[in-house]
């Protein structure tokens, strides 16, 4: 069973993941409205991934016989100065989530909650990948600021946003 401190913080993280889902959805809608379908598709996929992370956390709490609580989330930012700002916001968000994930793993370790610590390891690996992807995308979008279609070409060429199944991923509630 997960420690009560870990369960409480994981419930907060569910809200953070759902907030990230909403923010990525807002970024996708922005790019869709700008007729940048590859950037829109990339962020629609990112939104679904964040929702999936929240559902993995819900499943873990349920399996650990702990209360799973869906907390409220703040409204996402929906307007942006240019095509670069949404990706910069996404990278900042991924860095913040990485800090939150690391804090959860450290809390589990301090509480000698080995099951919860092990559960968090997949998310730590995932965050390294997310930061790398967003960092690369930000550099590309910054260079393509005057011609965002170059960023669209990059996404088409690199095939970002279309991850396959990860057999090491934790199970998800509702799956």
User: Any residues with CB less than 8 A from the CB of 106 and at least 6 apart, and which?
Assistant: none
**Other beta carbons within 10 Å of 159:** 8
Q: Which residues of the chain have pLDDT under 70?
A: 161-164, 175
User: Any residues with CB less than 8 A from the CB of 39 and at least 6 apart, and which?
Assistant: 28, 31, 83, 141, 148, 151, 152, 155
Chain center to CA of 80: 20
Give all domains of the chain, ordered by start, each with its CATH number: 4-158 (1.20.1260.10)
Residue 166 has a pLDDT of 75
78, 45 Cβ separation under 8 angstroms = no
Residues 49-67: tens digit of each pLDDT? 999 999 999 999 999 999 9
The model scores a pTM over 0.85:
yes
């Amino acid at each position: 069973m997960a420690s009560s401190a870990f369960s409480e913080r994981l419930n907060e993280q569910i809200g953070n993941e759902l907030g990230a889902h909403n923010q990525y959805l807002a970024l996708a809608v922005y790019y869709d409205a700008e007729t940048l379908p590859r950037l829109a598709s990339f962020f629609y996929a990112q939104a679904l991934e964040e929702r999936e992370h929240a559902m993995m956390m819900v499943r873990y709490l349920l399996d650990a016989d702990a209360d799973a609580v869906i907390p409220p989330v703040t409204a996402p930012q929906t307007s942006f100065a240019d095509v670069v700002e949404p990706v910069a916001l996404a990278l900042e968000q991924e860095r913040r989530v990485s800090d939150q994930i690391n804090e959860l793993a450290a809390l589990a370790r301090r509480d000698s909650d080995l099951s919860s610590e092990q559960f968090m390891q997949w998310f730590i690996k995932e965050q390294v990948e997310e930061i790398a992807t967003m960092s690369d995308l930000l550099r590309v979008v910054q260079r393509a600021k005057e011609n965002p279609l170059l960023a669209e070409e990059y996404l088409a060429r690199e095939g970002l946003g279309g991850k396959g199944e990860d057999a090491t991923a934790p199970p998800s509630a509702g799956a």
